[in-house]
Amino acid sequence: MFFSLAPLLLVPLVRAAPCCSLVARDAAPSASSSAVPSGGASGGIPANTSSNGDIVASTWFAAWHNDQYGLNNISWSKYTSVIYSFATTTPDVNTIGLAQSDMQLLPQFVQTAHQNNVQAILSIGGWTGSQYFSPAVSTSDNRTAFAQAVMKVVSQYSLDGIEFDWEYPNKQGIGCNVISPDDGANFLSFLQELRSQNGAKNLTLSAATSVTPWVGPNGTPMSDVSGFAKVLDHIGT
């Protein structure tokens, strides 16, 4: 379900099939971060474009099922945003992973979403794509590089937002993820860094979460996640 700074429609989350390979997916084509226009993606759709500006109705598009359930099968009129799943983290903090098929399909997804006045959001992570979130946000230099890599993808594909589906901060997911006790705090620092990037001010940022807060350094759910409300537009679970 979704939880938001504004009321949201509750929708299910799709997941990729289990896999635990340390082989990185193909990198998304690079683009200069200076190409990101101030205030959001070029030609994008502003947040909360429904007739009731307080409502966000969102769903996930499982790109790996495109042959069975394609873009034309989406009931675009029901949603204010659709989330393309998934790009992945990679061992290179400067690189967001996208399969070759996603490089071809993602532009079509964005075009179709914009034609329907719907925000086009890209999800990074998922069950098979969260292996390298932890090192990507572990240091100030890495957080800056990762934020710039995210903004390059935003610019390359004219995205309206990014969802972070980290499974999971300071908690093992698929079985081969890098994890750290400081993941939760580092994730917040990364999101703050991302918001400071040129073009990110009006970018829709969200996170897929479990029903409890992320695990803190003591191994229990974080007791204060108020800082995330200042940098995320909404969360979903």
The residue-averaged pLDDT of 181-210 equals 96
Quote the domain boundaries for residue 195.
2-13+27-236
Q: Which of 35-44, 109-118, 166-175, 220-229 has the lowest mean pLDDT?
A: 35-44
State the amino acid at position 111 in one-letter form.
Answer: Q
- 217 belongs to a structural domain: yes
- 229 belongs to a structural domain: yes
- 149 belongs to a structural domain: yes
The residue-averaged pLDDT of 140-165 equals 98
Q: List the Cα angle 212/7/46 in 5-degree steps.
A: 110
- 37 belongs to a structural domain: yes
Q: Are 213 and 222 in contact (CB under 8 A)?
A: yes
- 94 belongs to a structural domain: yes
Residue 117's alpha-carbon distances to 44, 75, 193, 236, in angstroms, are: 9, 12, 29, 22
- 19 belongs to a structural domain: no
pLDDT band at 171 (very low <50, low <70, confident <90, very high): very high
83 vs 28: which has the higher pLDDT? 83
- 18 belongs to a structural domain: no
- 20 belongs to a structural domain: no
Number of domains observed in the structure of the chain:
1
pLDDT for residue 5 is more than 80: no
Q: How far is C-alpha 125 from the chain's CA centre?
A: 7
- Residue 170: CATH number of its domain: 3.20.20.80
Cα–Cα dist 115/44, whole Å? 10
